[in-house]
């Protein structure tokens, strides 16, 4: 039980996928301009993460049994792409505003390194099903946390009178580096 909690906390804070492992940077910079899109993106990615980690856990057992481990990446991408398409269809029907706001970044969840990374790490560390789910949940919530913190800061930055060369993306990149240094403070919090 405590191991599951530790895995969740580790993926969420100590090994935060955006700030410590530097995965999923593209949507992190792309959709963090506004708070609502950031939250929507975070939840969409979390949903895809959890669902795909469940399916890939079963698929991985099948792959190992048949001795086809070399197909890991391609099958995982297939699973992830399916769920991203599903989320896209669902959002288009139930939340057209968010669908429009996310734009190209929604189908790009498919190539979000966090999701493939988590699925492959689950397979490598041979986590159990429950551990995989909590690892994915932690990674997703960590991504959501990173997006929300960053979007809040960027919304405030809009109000400041910045020097011309720093406006927009440059200051966002500087901000991201400072945030990732701040997250270094969580190192050594827990040991697995």
Residues interacting with another protein, by CB under 8 A? 59, 62-63, 66-68, 71, 74-75, 78-79, 82, 85-86, 89-90, 92-94, 96
Instruction: Provide the minimum distance between the beta carbon of 139 and another protein in the complex, in angstroms, as a whole number.
Output: 22
* Distance of alpha carbon 42 from alpha carbon 128, whole angstroms: 25
**How many residues in the chain?**
192
Burial class (CB in 10 A: 0-12, 13-18, 19+), 153: middle
Q: Kindly tell me which of 82 and 180 has the beta carbon lying closer to another protein.
A: 82
Q: How far is the CB of 79 from another protein (least distance, A)?
A: 7
In whole angstroms, the minimum distance from the beta carbon of 83 to another protein comes to 9
Q: Which is nearer to another protein, 3 or 92 (CB)?
A: 92
* 112-116-119-122 Cα dihedral, nearest 10 degrees: -100
* Residue 26 or 89 with smaller CB distance to another protein: 89
CA distance linking residue 138 with residue 105, whole number of Å = 21
User: C-beta of 136: minimal distance to another protein in Å?
Assistant: 19
């Amino acid at each position: 039980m405590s191991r599951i909690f530790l895995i969740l906390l580790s993926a969420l804070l100590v090994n935060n996928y955006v700030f410590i492992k530097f995965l999923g940077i593209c949507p992190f910079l792309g959709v963090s301009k506004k708070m609502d899109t950031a939250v929507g993106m975070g939840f969409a990615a979390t949903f895809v993460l959890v669902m795909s980690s469940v399916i890939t856990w079963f698929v991985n057992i099948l792959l190992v049994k048949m001795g086809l481990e070399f197909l890991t990446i391609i099958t995982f991408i297939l699973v992830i792409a399916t769920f991203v398409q599903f989320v896209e269809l669902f959002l288009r029907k139930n939340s057209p505003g968010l669908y429009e706001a996310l734009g190209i970044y929604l189908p790009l969840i498919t190539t979000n390194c966090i999701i493939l990374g988590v699925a492959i790490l689950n397979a490598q560390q041979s986590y159990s099903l429950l551990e995989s789910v909590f690892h994915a949940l932690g990674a997703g919530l960590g991504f959501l946390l990173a997006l929300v913190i960053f979007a809040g800061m960027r919304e405030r930055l809009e109000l400041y009178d910045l020097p011309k060369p720093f406006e927009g993306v440059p200051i966002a990149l500087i901000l991201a580096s400072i945030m990732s240094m701040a997250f270094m403070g969580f190192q050594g919090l827990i040991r697995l």
